[in-house]
Amino acid sequence: MLQISYIRENRDEVVAGLQKKNFKELHLVDEVIALDESRRSLQSNSESIAAEANSSAKQIGELMRQGKKEEAEAIKIATSGHKAKLKELNDALVQTDTDFHNKLVQLPNLPHYSVPAGVSADDNEVVLEHGAIPNLDTDALPHWELAAKYKLIDFELGTKIAGAGFPVYTGKGARLQRGLINFFLDEAVKMGYSETQVPHAVNESSAYATGQLPDKEGQMYHVTEDDLYLIPTAEVPLTNLYRDEIVKEEQFPIMHCAYTPCFRREAGSYGAHVRGLNRLHQFDKVETVQIVQPEKSYEALEAMSSYVQSLLQKLELPYRVLRLCGGDMSFGSALTYDMETYSAAQERWLEVSSVSNFETFQSNRLKVRYRNSDGKMILAHTLNGSALALPRIVATLLENNQTPQGIKIPEVLRPYVGFDYID
């Protein structure tokens, strides 16, 4: 959530930033500013009348003690409307504050100055490419056919049990999943992340605090009877560990990692591009989260990007890094790098990780603060990154490593899975 003080003082800059994100409801900026002015005026008037009422009450009490009943009664009559006026002002303040908040939370985060302009994924900036694109035989198979051939994933059985987008992993497919999860967790711990197990469902306050509500309400699975949401990513519970906390500066950088299943409705997703593992309703992911001082957050972002790249290098996967344009960024992000691996059988790039800096957008909702050396209360910066999401990693591992002998397992994974080939 943007800070209202910043919006008031930098109105034109805010509008320009929102335009860069292709946000269409720019009228909300002026409406938020006007509502803030109204609520501050109402608050000031209310405090003024309350102070006058308190002063009058003291006067009346003193006059009554002095036996000056007539003077006391005169003041009572003169101030008899204070109570009704206070109620009127407070009712107006509650409504204005509600209207203000409801409009403020509709404003997305402002993009970092380095974010390129653009309206879609076609306008994202390629920062770097690494590794050679595999040259497969003409009879190479896409991962969904490899999964069937080697009995690794049963998509139809998952559809029978739950529905499309809920695959069942079997045999070496299940072992590959477990091996990747353990590998990613071990690597994260080596990098200084604290491994954490978190709930797979969160309450409304937690979903709101990290920006899933109200922006992504339709994309989450909602357990209506208990008013809980299945998590779309471990970012939500991990970041909420520090909701409403004043952390100590010596705790920085706060670094957590967690493995969880992730649940996404992906409403409206269909077509050839979502076949197989390309897009699922339930998938596994290891997430990394950092909470740091504002002046160190972009250094942390670059380090997180480099770390995710190191995982892809160890898995021997060709990849590229994109800096997302304004129109392709998430609601809460100030700057996002996407990592994509090349799917040789599908002949296209697949996103496998997003690493984002949210600056104070989440922490303002979370109220994650710290006192600096001068004793000033400061909002921390929050960051997160997929390290990594499994489905498209598995897809590219299967496709890119298919050989006449079977599917070759990258050397770094062999101790985790217990085999060199899937055959």
Q: Domain limits of the chain?
A: 4-104, 121-422
Task: Flag whether the pTM goes above 0.85.
Answer: yes
Please state, in angstroms and rounded to a whole number, the distance separating the CA atoms of residues 380 and 357: 11
Which of 2.40.50.1020, 3.30.930.10, 1.10.10.10, 3.40.50.1360 would CATH assign to domain 121-422? 3.30.930.10
Tokens 């320009």 belong to 16
Q: Give the residue-averaged pLDDT of 269-288.
A: 84
- CATH dotted code for 4-104: 1.10.287.40
Structure tokens at 225: 């009877």
pLDDT averaged over the chain?
94
Give me the pLDDT at residue 266, please. Answer: 80
Share above pLDDT 90 across residues of the chain, in percent, rounded to a whole number: 83
Higher pLDDT, 85 or 24: 24
pLDDT, tens digit, 9 for 90 and up, residues 318-355:
999 999 999 999 999 999 999 999 999 999 999 999 99
Pairing label, strands 381-389, 282-292: antiparallel
Among residues 355, 375, 258, the alpha carbon closest in space to that of 298 is found at 355
Q: Do the Cβ atoms of 67 and 104 come closer than 8 Å?
A: no
Do the domains spanning 4-104 and 121-422 agree at the CATH topology level?
no
Higher pLDDT, 423 or 76: 423
Identify each DSSP E strand in 104-144 by its residue range: 125-130
At residue 307 the predicted structure's pLDDT band, cuts being 50, 70 and 90, is very high
Pairing label, strands 246-247, 369-371: parallel
Share above pLDDT 70 across residues of the chain, in percent, rounded to a whole number: 98
Give me the pLDDT at residue 57, please. Answer: 78
